Amino acid sequence: MRLIRTAVTVLACLFILVGLIWIGQGTGYFPYPASSFMINQTPWIAYGALLAAVGAGLLLALRRYRR
């Protein structure tokens, strides 16, 4: 059970990190790589926010069901 909790925690943190990167690229604040199709594209802001929210929800669920 501890292995599953650790795996879900790592996955949730990755979701949050990738979501923040997508938000940064969608807004143009993180233009890397320079040839990325995601730079200054509004839909990636929403996709990133959704992914980061899923990651935060996973972390909150882990805290709530701590046994």
Here the tokens at position 11 are 């996955």
> For 50-60, how does the pLDDT look when each residue is reduced to its tens digit (9 = 90+)?
999 999 999 99
Gap between the Cα atoms of 54 and 39, Å rounded? 22
Its pTM surpasses 0.85:
yes
Q: How many CA atoms lie within 13 A of 56 on its CB side?
A: 8
Domain map of the chain by residue range?
A: 2-30+37-64
For the segment 8-34, the average pLDDT, to the nearest whole number, is 93
Q: What is the pLDDT of residues 26-67, one digit of tens each?
A: 998 988 888 889 899 999 999 999 999 999 999 999 988 876
Residue 1, token pair as written in the block: 């059970």
* pLDDT of res. 67: 62
